Amino acid sequence: MSRRRPPPSRGVEWEFEKVTFSREYPRGVVTKLLVERAEHGGWELDRVRIGPDGTRRVVLRRKIIRQRLTLSV
C-alpha cells in the first residue's frame, strides 16, 4: 500500500533540510532535537527513513514566505 503526498497548495513554496542521525542516538534524544528545531526554526517533519544500519534520515520542511511589494500613492 503506497501513500501519496497531497499536491502542494498553489503558490506555496517550501524549503527543505535533510538531517541524518546516527543509530547511537536514542529515540528520545532525536525527538527532543527535532522538537527544538520545530519550535525555534519553524520546521515541520516531512519524512523519516530508518536505514538497515539504524541511521535515521529525516527531511524537514518550512514554508517560504515571500514579501510582496506594496505601492503607496
The tens digit of pLDDT for each residue in 58-69 reads 999 999 887 777
Q: What is the pLDDT of residue 6?
A: 58
Ranges of residues in the chain whose predicted pLDDT is under 50:
1-2
| HSE (side-chain half, CA atoms, 13 Å) at 5 | 5
Q: pLDDT at position 12, please? A: 80
d(CA 59, CA 17): 6
Answer whether 68's CB lies under 8 Å from 45's CB. no
